[in-house]
Amino acid sequence: MKKMTVSLCAAVTVAAGGVLADSIGDIGNVRLKGGLGKRLDAVIANHVAAQDVDYITAPFLEKTETKGWWQTEFWGKWMHAAVPFLAYTHDAALRGKIERGCERILASQEDGGYIGNYPDALRCGEGWDVWGMKYTLMGLLHDYDWRRQCEGGEITRLASNVSRPQTSADILAACRRLCDYVIAEIGPNGRRGRELWQTGNWSGYASSSILEPVVWLYRRVAERDGADAARKYLDFASFIVKGMAEPEKGPRLLDLALKGVSVADRNEADYDGNAGWAYVCKHGRAKAYEMMSCYQGLLEYYEIMSAAPRLSSHVSSPVPPADILRAAVMTGEDIVKEEINLAGGCACSEAWFHGARKQHLAYRRLQETCVTTTWMRFCEKLLEITDQPKWADEIEKTFYNAYLAAMKPDGSEFAGYTPLSGSRFHGQHHCFMHTDCCTANGPRGFLCFLRAFFTTRGDAATFNFYSSALVKGELSDGRKVAFDMYSLYPRTDSARIVSHTEGAGVVPLRLRIPAWSAKTVVKLNGKALDGVAAGRYFTIARAWKLGDIVEVEFDLPVVAHTLAHHVAFTRGPVLLARDSRFNDGDMTEPFRPGIKDGERMPSFAAVRAPSDDMWMAFSATLPVGSHHENPEGGLPATVFFCDYASAGNEWRRDNFYRTWFPVEFGPAE
C-alpha cells in the first residue's frame, strides 16, 4: 500500500511503516512451517476456501429478515479472513470466490446505498442490522485493499471468473454509499429520529462497533481522494465516539473504565441479571464480544486523532484521545485480572462474570469462540499501539489454548463454546443457516498470531512468537531483512533463528521474552548474552550476516495453580489436561492437600503421546486419591496429561477431559 501524499497523511497512516490499519498488509511475509503451518493450511483449505459463498450472500438478495437476526454478519467475517489468506496463498480458486461474493453483494445494494437483508421498516432499529452493515463494510474494505494493490502492480493479478470484474474504485464507492446511508438514517439529525447508539443491543455496543470500519473508510478515502472527500467519515466517527461516551444509558466505554469499574460490573443499577436473561439484551453492558469490538474501533479512532494534532482545527474529538487509550488499556488490564482463565479464554454465556476467580467451576457456555477471537484482536491492537510485550503474552496464551482447542483438527469448523472440563462438540446453527457466528469468526484468530509473529517498525524487527517459519520484512527506510526460525516450541524449550539478512547495516532484532520464562538464555553464534529479562523485549543490534545464529532457550517448568480447593497445572503458556484416552483412572478423584500455588512440579515428564492427534503428553506422579490411610493407597499415583488444545479433540462425547481437579478439605476448613 502506497503512502499518502495528501496534506493529512500523518492522520491516515500508521506509525509502523505507513500501512493502512488492519489492511491485508504484509500477511505473506510470514510463512509458518511445521505443525502450526499444517494447522493454518488446514483452516485455509477446509474452512476459508471451502466456503459456499453463494450461500452466505443469499440473504442480502432477499431482504426478508423480520426476526432481528444476524445473517448478514457471516459474509463480512469470512471476507475479513479470506482476503488476507488470499494474500498468503495466492490461490486462484479463493480469488474467484471472493470476486463472486463481491459481485453478489454489490448487486444487492439499493439505490440509497443500503446493503443488508432487513425490510425498510425494520432497518437501523432493535435488531442486528447495523451490526451486519459493520461486517459488510469490513469485508468490502478488505477487498478494496486487495484490488488496490493488484492495480498498483504490487501483486500479480489472478484470473477473474465473474461476469463483470469490479475495480477498487467500484468497491470504495459502494462502501461510501453504504456509510452515507447509515449517516443519513441514524447519524446527526438522521431520518430515523434516533442516534446510532440507541439501536441494536447491549446499550448500543453492537451498533456502536461500526466505528472500526468507519475509521478504516476514512483512512482509505483520504488516501485515495483527499482529506476533503473523507472529512464526513471522520465527522461521523466522532459522532459515534460521542455516543459511546456521553449518554447515560449508552455504552459508557470511557467514564466507567476510567473510574476503574470492572467489565462485569458496568450494567445499570436496575439491571436484573436473574430476570430471564436472554442472548438479546437491550440494556446490559456485560456482553464481552461487542464491548471489545467497540474498543477496537476506539483504538483506531485514537490513532487518527493522536497522530495529527493539526486536525484539531478541523475536527475535534468529543473526548481527549489520551483518555481513549487509557480507557482501552485499563479495560484490557481488567479483563486479564478479572476474566482471563488459564486457557486464555473468558466469558460465560458470552458475558463477563469475574470468570478468573470462578474458572474451577462448571459455568455454562464458557469461552465462546467469538469472544476468544475478539480478545486476540483487542490484544493485537493494544500491542501495536503500546509496544508492551504483555499483550503478546496474552495472545500467545489464548492462541495455544482456548483458540486451538476450539478448532476442529481438520480446520473445517470452530466450536461455539469450549469448556475447561468436559468435551468438545459442534457449534450452533444460527438464523436458520448451517453456520454460526463462531465458525464464521474462527479463522480471524489465526490472523492475529500470524500478523504479530514478526513485525518491522521504524528501524527494528521484532519476533513476538516462536514457531518454525520463514519471515521477511522491510524497515521504514527501505532496508530489507529476513530470518529463518526452527522451533517446536512450546512442545520443546528452544528456538533457533538463522539470519538470511546481509548488507542491511545495523538492525536491532527484538525478541519477546515471555513473562512466565524466568530464566531465558539467548545466545548469538554460540555465545550467551547478558541482560535477558522475563516480560520484556531483548534486543540484539548488529550488522547481520548470512548464517548468524540466535538461539533462545526458555524456562518451561510445570507450575501448579490453586483456587478454592482446586488445582490445575500449566507448562509455560500451555494449560495441561487429563484426557479419557489415557485410561489412567478416575479424573474426578481428589488430590490430597499440600500443593502450593505457584509451586514448580518436577515430577512431570514429557512422554510419547498415545496417538498422533495429541500434540504433547506428560506423565506425573502426584498425591491423588482419598484412601491415604491405607499403606498402598497413601502412595502417589502416576497419571497422564496432554496440552489443553489436544484434550477432547476427537469431538466425541466419550472423549472427555479435565483441567481443574478437586483438593480434599480438612475438618477445620
Asked if pLDDT for residue 281 goes beyond 80, the answer is no
Cell of 224: 485515495
Report the share of the chain in percent with pLDDT over 70: 91
Q: Which residue has the cell 447491549?
A: 202
Q: How many CB atoms lie under 10 A from the CB of residue 541?
A: 12
Which pLDDT value is given to residue 1?
29
Among 350, 254, 247, which Cα is nearest to 302's? 254
Q: For the range 8-13, what are the long-range contacts, defined as Cβ-Cβ under 8 Å and sequence gap of 24 or more? A: 8/222, 8/227, 8/308, 8/310, 8/311, 10/307, 10/308, 10/310, 11/222, 11/227, 11/304, 11/307, 11/308, 11/310, 11/311, 12/218, 12/219, 12/222, 12/223, 12/230, 12/304, 13/219, 13/307
Residues 6+ apart with CB under 8 A from 469: 30, 31, 32, 33, 37, 453, 454, 484, 485
For residue 21, what pLDDT band results from cuts at 50, 70 and 90? very low
Secondary structure (3-state) at 244 = helix
Which pLDDT value is given to residue 626?
84
Which pLDDT value is given to residue 14?
32
Distance in angstroms (rounded) separating the CA atoms of residues 95 and 101: 10
Inter-CA distances, 20 with 2, 4, 137, 385, 625, Å: 9, 10, 15, 14, 58
pLDDT in tens, 616-636: 999 999 999 888 888 888 899
pLDDT in tens, 221-232: 999 999 899 999
For residue 28, what pLDDT band results from cuts at 50, 70 and 90? confident
Asked if pLDDT for residue 235 goes beyond 90, the answer is yes
To which H or E segment does residue 173 belong? helix 168-186
Asked if pLDDT for residue 561 goes beyond 60, the answer is yes
Which pLDDT value is given to residue 270?
72
Distance in angstroms (rounded) separating the CA atoms of residues 175 and 43: 28
pLDDT in tens, 409-459: 999 999 999 999 999 988 888 888 888 888 999 999 999 999 999 999 999
β-pairing, 566-571 vs 661-662, is: antiparallel
Cell of 519: 530464566
Which pLDDT value is given to residue 165?
65
pLDDT in tens, 105-142: 999 999 999 999 999 999 999 899 999 999 999 999 99
β-pairing, 469-474 vs 506-512, is: unpaired
Bridge partners, 559 (sequence order): 570, 600
Secondary structure (3-state) at 399 = helix
* Averaged confidence pLDDT in the chain: 91
Q: What fold is seen in the domain 460-553?
A: Immunoglobulin-like (2.60.40)
Contact call for residues 646 and 616 (beta carbons, < 8 A): yes
DSSP 618: E
Contact call for residues 497 and 549 (beta carbons, < 8 A): yes
One DSSP character per residue, 438-494 reads: HHHHHHHHHHHHHHHHEEEETTEEEE-S-SSEEEEEE-TTS-EEEEEEEE-TTTSSE
pLDDT in tens, 530-540: 999 999 999 99
Asked if pLDDT for residue 15 goes beyond 70, the answer is no
Asked if pLDDT for residue 586 goes beyond 70, the answer is yes
Asked if pLDDT for residue 25 goes beyond 90, the answer is no
Which pLDDT value is given to residue 163?
56
Residues 6+ apart with CB under 8 A from 337: 356
For residue 152, what pLDDT band results from cuts at 50, 70 and 90? confident
Asked if pLDDT for residue 12 goes beyond 90, the answer is no
Contact call for residues 500 and 484 (beta carbons, < 8 A): yes
Q: Which residue has the cell 463477563?
A: 352
Cell of 512: 519477546
- Backbone φ/ψ region at 625: left (φ over 0), alpha (ψ -120 to 50), beta: left
pLDDT in tens, 155-189: 545 445 555 568 999 999 999 999 999 999 999 99
Domain boundaries, the chain: 460-553, 558-662
Which pLDDT value is given to residue 369?
95
Among 458, 487, 489, 486, which Cα is nearest to 473's? 458
**Vertex 495: Cα angle to 493 and 496 (nearest 5):** 145
Average pLDDT over residues 280-284: 71
Which pLDDT value is given to residue 273?
64
| End-to-end Cα distance, the chain | 64
Q: Which residue has the higher pLDDT, 279 or 240?
A: 240
Inter-CA distances, 466 with 30, 39, 54, 308, 389, Å: 12, 15, 38, 35, 14
One DSSP character per residue, 220-237 reads: HHHHHH-HHHHHHHHHHH
Contact call for residues 117 and 60 (beta carbons, < 8 A): yes
Secondary structure (3-state) at 413 = coil
Distance in angstroms (rounded) separating the CA atoms of residues 558 and 602: 7
Contact call for residues 130 and 206 (beta carbons, < 8 A): yes
Which pLDDT value is given to residue 5?
26
Q: Which residue has the cell 494449560?
A: 575
Which pLDDT value is given to residue 161?
53
pLDDT in tens, 507-557: 999 999 999 999 999 999 999 999 999 999 999 999 999 999 999 999 999
Distance in angstroms (rounded) separating the CA atoms of residues 638 and 661: 15
Least confident of 3-7, 283-287, 354-358: 3-7
Among 654, 618, 621, 656, which Cα is nearest to 637's? 621
Among 280, 293, 370, which Cα is nearest to 69's? 280
Cell of 206: 453492537
Asked if pLDDT for residue 607 goes beyond 90, the answer is yes
Q: How many CA atoms lie within 13 A of 518 on its CB side?
A: 6
Which pLDDT value is given to residue 26?
65
Q: Any idea of the CA torsion for 14, 156, 34, 25, to the nearest 10 degrees?
A: 10
> Using CA of residue 334, residue 339, residue 340, residue 341, what is the dihedral sign?
positive
To which H or E segment does residue 642 belong? strand 637-643
Q: Which residue has the cell 483487542?
A: 378
Q: For residues 644-656, b (16+ Cβ closer than 10 Å) or e, as one string? A: bbbbbbbeeeeeb
Inter-CA distances, 42 with 213, 340, 413, 443, Å: 29, 28, 10, 11
Among 170, 201, 145, 169, which Cα is nearest to 2's? 145
Average pLDDT over residues 317-339: 97
Which pLDDT value is given to residue 405?
97
Among 242, 229, 319, which Cα is nearest to 8's? 229
